[in-house]
Chains A and B, each alone.
Chain A
Amino acid sequence: MLVLTRKSGERLMIGDDVMITVLDVGRGQVRLGIEAPKGVRVHREEIFAKVIEENRHAAEASGDFLPDWEGEGDED
């Protein structure tokens, strides 16, 4: 892993077109500004963990999937 030290207001370039600016540092948090082309997805890492967890739930739940409501119009 490449480790760099940056101060507030300083920037990082990743490749030619992704720029990360350290906006604010303090109290155990860092605020980052990210400028990237529209085609590049930027995520907090946690969302992947959430999607994986939900996929596992979905796969388990599909085992006895027999919805009562489906195709029967409105109920209650």
Chain B
Amino acid sequence: MFPVQRPLSALVALSAICAVLTFSSARADTLDTIMSAKVLKVAVPQDFAPFGSAGPDLQPQGYDIDMANLIARELGVKVEIIPVTSANRIPYLQTHKADLVISSLGKNAEREKVIDFSDAYAPFFSGVYATKEVAVTKPADLAGKTVGATRGAIEEQALTAMVPSDTTIKRFEDNNATIAAFVSGQVDLIATGNTVAAAIAEKSPARAPTLKFVIKDSPCYVGLNKDEPKLLAKVNEIIAKAKSSGELAKLSEKWLKAPLPPGF
């Protein structure tokens, strides 16, 4: 009970402060802010090829950067590329340092609580790969065959559960050993992610892996703040347009060296 000298003026000052606070926290939908400022701020990965990495000229390049450019182009605004890491990409979005997060973002229940997701724009899946001649189209075809995988990886655990009992799974300690086993011919089939397969195809075209079947699908989504219906609708509209015009398929060929998986 501190003595308030002039209760009325204290009350007026307090309500003025509250009014200012509520007024400043009211915000137009981010889409309007973007259109009026003519700048789209996008957070992209800086060290996760082929989605986002530094090119030979130290400029960001990758699937996600191309996607950011695409969206900005469709909106008719300039794009500001903001390199982020997996740890700070969502905080950047939440503090409005970025309007969108296009950073090989996967959707899960925890994240759904704090941000919104657009429709999928890039495939990100693990599957069983082999060179073109190997005739495998489903898990049952692996009977009696040998598959290489990285121990403890999600695709290795899922694969162990879905293969016939006479399939041999050779588990290596890390991704590099698994890749070395495939490239050297020690294993003819491997279970790995589509980005790893793309990297192998680029470095060793003679042993380019082609997808035989998908183990687990976890495509990439654009991340937005909650309560931005106009921006979300517009982003989804742009993604749908890129899908039907074939532009998304071109991005997939360019960065992932593979067509979009069926049903994308």
A binds B: no
Interface residues of B (CB under 8 A from A): none
Interface residues of A (CB under 8 A from B): none
